[in-house]
Structure 1
Amino acid sequence: MSGLQRIAILGAESTGKSCLVTALACVLQSRGHNVRTVDEVLRSWCDREGRTPLAHEQIGIAQTQAQAVQGIQQGVVISDTTPLMTAVYSDLLFGDDSLYPMALAHQALFDNTLVTGLDLPWVADGLQRDGPHVRGPVDTLVRQALERAGITYHVVYGQGQQRLNNALLALGLPGEDTAGGMVREKAQFAIHQGRTVWQCNACSDPDCEHQLFSGLLAKRVDPGAR
């Protein structure tokens, strides 16, 4: 990796996005890269306001997320979600698809887009998460939007070190050795207080992936449900 490289981590709630951002940043820094991470704006917004955003507040969150990424002009930038996730939730929860053009234009700025798979157990996290019932529809909308815009992406599955290694391989980078991975995973578990443990029984199996996505395409949650 040289110059400015942008990596987006997308995915439904409770699919290990933040953990993966932390792990990737740690690995790339240990390999000598200048790494900057961009936190999820929605999380800080909900913490500050004590509620989830209304329909008209979604655009501001999306714009703030985009500006945080665009404000970094060197090194490796790893973004924990992008405006595309805001667009998806606006579509799903409010029936508003107006944010997609802006979100997809911004998504095209990323060199790599990783989508976290649905193989992890859902874990509650206060206002931040609606429930396991929205994960399938969100995952479907994310993939459909990326494919509609012709944006290449890789879905990352796996438990612990395997999930990290699959992400590294998707980025065209070598994986981590087992010893180093164990140290990093323990540190990560402590940072997140065990809230986002990685778990999977069929990591990156192409048949499993095809079957999963085909099933998700047939489902759609009520936009008014939360």
Structure 2
Amino acid sequence: MKQPFRVAILGSASSGKTTLAAALAEKYGALWVPEYLREFVDVRQRVPVAADQIHIARTQVAREDAAAAQGGRFLFCDTTPLMTSVYSRHYFGGIDAELEALTASHGYDVTLVCAPDIPWVPDGLQRENQDLSGVINGYLNEELARRAIPHTRIHGPLAERLQQVAQLLGQV
């Protein structure tokens, strides 16, 4: 079975990743993989600690792989191990070797980065302060450059974001 075209959707908290992933899946009749971190925080009723980071990233990848095994043309991934690495760098002062290896070994066919240009929506325990959006985006930009990951910035309201992605995916 042919593997689906994997689309990574990255960005800081409240940048519209989940909304975009769900809308793209609906538009293309495809699967999407929700962000496991959200479930982790909801179930455990706490934010992750450094030791949780590799579990979060591994679970995200396992869920992506399970969804990819179902086939289809596209698979939309609401975050990736790269974002776990970005948050590890910010909150825990670095990326441990296991997480670095997983992040480096897990690639995507296209990477989208959602601009933080939509209204901020607080989300309980999971979301950092709105003021950290710039810091997280700075780390994300550094990691994308360091890893030489080509990416496309997606911005504007949802309808504009969908058009931008449609133009990009129309080329594949």
Verify same fold: TM over 0.5.
yes
Amino acid corresponding to residue 130 of structure 1 in structure 2: E
Amino acid corresponding to residue 67 of structure 1 in structure 2: A
Amino acid corresponding to residue 61 of structure 2 in structure 1: A
Amino acid corresponding to residue 114 of structure 1 in structure 2: L
Corresponding residue to 1:56 among 51, 62, 67: 51
Amino acid corresponding to residue 77 of structure 2 in structure 1: S
Corresponding residue to 1:130 among 128, 151, 158: 128
TM-score, scaled relative to structure 1: 0.69
Could you list the per-position Cα deviations for residues 63-93 of structure 1 after superposition, in whole angstroms to 9, with x for gaps in the alignment? 1111111222322211110111111111101
Alignment of 1:99-138 (within 5 A): 99-106=99-106, 108=107, 110-138=108-136
Q: After TM superposition, give the deviation of residue 3 of structure 1 in Å.
A: 5.1
Amino acid corresponding to residue 31 of structure 2 in structure 1: R
Residues in 1 aligned to 2:100 and 2:168: alpha-carbon distance in whole angstroms = 25
Any conservation in 2 of the 1:122–1:131 contact (CA below 8 Å)? no
What's 2:140 paired with? 142
Alignment of 1:1-226 (within 5 A): 4-29=4-29, 35-71=30-66, 72-73=68-69, 74-75=71-72, 76-98=74-96, 99-106=99-106, 108=107, 110-172=108-170
Counting matched residue pairs gives: 165
Q: Give ranges in structure 2 of 5+ residues lacking alignment.
A: none
Greater RCO (CA < 8 Å, at least 6 residues apart)? 2
Q: After TM superposition, give the deviation of residue 130 of structure 1 in Å.
A: 1.1
Q: RMSD of aligned C-alpha atoms?
A: 1.5
Q: Give ranges in structure 1 of 5+ residues lacking alignment.
A: 30-34, 174-226
TM-score, scaled relative to structure 2: 0.90
Percent of aligned positions with the same letter in both sequences?
A: 38
What's 1:221 paired with? none
